[in-house]
A and B are shown apart, each in its own frame.
Chain A
Amino acid sequence: MQYMILIHSEPMDGPNPGEPGFEDTMAPWMAYNQKLIDGGHYVAADQLQGIETATTIRRAYGAGDTIVDGPFAETKEHLGGFYIVEAKDLDEALALAAEVPIPAGSLEVRPVVPS
């Protein structure tokens, strides 16, 4: 089964690529990615640009679409990235999600409907 791990966390103000400390910040993520690949769990993953780049299409039952600036809801934690992993059941997917190296936040695990 495939599961999507949605990473909800506070915006991280880390160093940018090329700046000192960048490699250190990325190390646990690279290690985690490699672990997923080695275990045959990796399907897809990406980090998202910050919430200031978000644009939302709002739709209300036949009233037509409104395009608005910003994420759909202002919250302290926002969707920052995701993984899609291959796992044999929810317990394995939860175990994989628990290793995502964010210091604080929440990890939502949802099964993907097979296409």
Chain B
Amino acid sequence: MPDNSEAVTRLAREESAHVLALLAHRFGLDIADDAVQDALVEALNWSSVPDNPAAWLYTVARNRAVDRVRRDASAARRLARAAPDLVLAAERNSGSGAHSGNDEEAPEMIDDAHYSGDEHLRLLLLCCHPALGRDTQVALTLRLVGGLTTAEIAAAFLLPEQTLAQRIVRAKRKIRDAGIPLSIPEDLTSRVDALLTVVYLIFNEGYLSRGSGAGARIDLVEEAIRLTITARELLPGNAEVEGLLSLELYARARHDTRFRGDELILLEQQDRTRWDGELIEQANGLLRGALSRLQPGPFQTQAVIARHHATARTAADTDWPAIASAYSVLLAMTGGSPVVALNRAVAVSMADGPDAGLRLLDEVTGLDNYHLYWAARAELLVRAGDADAAAIAFARARELATNTAEQHHLDRRIAELRG
């Protein structure tokens, strides 16, 4: 059998969401998802890759969906003959948006370049419906929009595959039984916020995984960037979408310099000549465009901070007063988020000295179990010359850190302090 797995993976990642979105609109999410999965499995048996894999996927998945509806309809007819009373109830049950049997529409061939995107946006917003929990939104987005397999998502989030599969099954069941609509809400703002939060969570998980096991992870950073690019195509002119994309590109541009072996390299020690200048330029352009729309938001503000870091030629050149004031803006936008307050304290310590930073840190509450709070506090105490207090804070950070690279970094800092 020829090995088509790479082409099929690309098909799943890049085209399955389009096809699923089109079919979900006509057949309901459940049938559409099964049909697309069946077609992808069938694609593994290709003797050669078709000229237009997207059209192939659409046609095959659509035929599978029609087969399924026909099978269900004939089961219903058999049931009707055997027990007419039950059928009435069953018909009422299935009246939730899915199309009924003999739909004789001409198959609309999809053409990747001219795809309208409307159904795709519906699907993206469905995955981020507020009636679904945040973890479920993340899993569904990766599965239905990102085209990742359940196993890949489970590996990326270090969850048992069974747990993740159950989460997705429950979500699909709730979408069906609770009647969550595949429609674009009138008030898009709240849903777009949820969507961006979901993509940002995916990005963050990739940027700094919660645990070790890096080998088993797919690259969530790349996936988040791809999802944000999709969101930008579907929501043109949205300043926060552009802000998030530029933020992701700044981070991506520095990605290769963030680790040496399995140890984390801090920003000020990274080799800036190895940052990806082209990506930084791209991010700069995106951010300029976003800011010119005069619709400020937290992602644009974070991107502004990232731009200050990305465009400083040396660590010493960093414009810390500007970063500190951007954090103040962000703090107000996020309703006083303690993590933002922590970052602001660090920026202030770089601009005005460690004592000013420590005074702000003392006002931050709710981060006692957050390793970065203790790591930041320790660094400020080192700079303020209080080695004993710094050692205690480092030890607390080391206790709480779960990422191997961060643990190694903290071990080295503790050793340096002792030496």
Contacts and interface: CB of A to CB of B under 8 A. Distances in A.
B178 A111 contact: yes
Given A114-B89, A115-B89, A90 B96 contact: no
Interface residues of B, number: 14
B216 interface: no
A111 B89 contact: no
Contacts of A110: 178
Contacts of A111: 177-179
A1 interface: yes
Interface in A86-110: 87-91, 93-94, 110
Contacts, number: 31
Question: By CB atoms of chain A within 10 A, which of B89, B178, B185 has the most?
Answer: B178
A3 B178 CA distance: 9
A97 to B, nearest CB: 12
Question: By CB atoms of chain B within 10 A, which of A87, A88, A89, A115 has the most?
Answer: A89
Interface size on A, as a range, is 10 to 19
A90 B93 contact: no
B96 to A, nearest CB: 7
A21 to B, nearest CB: 36
A88 B182 CA distance: 12
A93 B177 CA distance: 13
B183 interface: yes
Contacts of A90: 131, 178-181
B178 A91 contact: no
B92 interface: yes
Contacts of A115: 89
B181 A1 contact: no
18 contacts: A1-B96, A87-B179, A88-B179, A88-B181, A89-B97, A89-B179, A90-B131, A90-B178, A91-B181, A91-B183, A91-B185, A93-B179, A110-B178, A111-B178, A111-B179, A114-B92, A114-B93, A115-B89
Interface of B: 89, 92-93, 95-97, 131, 177-181, 183, 185
